[in-house]
Amino acid sequence: MLTIIGIKNCSTIKKTLTWLDENDQEYDFRDVKKDPLEEGEILDLVQKVGLDTLVNKRGMKWRTLGLKDKNLSDEELLDVVHEHQTMIKRPVVVAGEAAMVGFDEEALESFVEHNVG
């Protein structure tokens, strides 16, 4: 089963969930605003996809926190992401030990095909 991580009102999340529904894929949705990820869960995602892939450095939260000109260590960045989980790129799609970030219909189709039993 897939787990989709994101924010309910995000247009990219809506596209992802629509695609999954249209393709009869079962999933659990986790809204990080209502059910934030634990630090260990974030670290697990970082191991699966990498910190640069996981963090949205072009988003509003990145800009409003003034992080553009700061040279944060990975540890400092993880602390910021844990506190401000809306900085996580959306969607994060997890299937067991595999994960992908972002919505691309072909990539999602391939991911589901290779990772969902």
Joined together, the tokens standing for residue 70 give 């700061």
Beta strands of the chain (E only): which ranges? 2-6, 27-31, 92-95, 98-101
CA distance 90 to 16: 9
Q: How far apart are CA 96 and CA 89, in angstroms?
A: 19
Length of the chain: 117
Quote the DSSP letter at residue 100.
Answer: E
Active site residues: 10
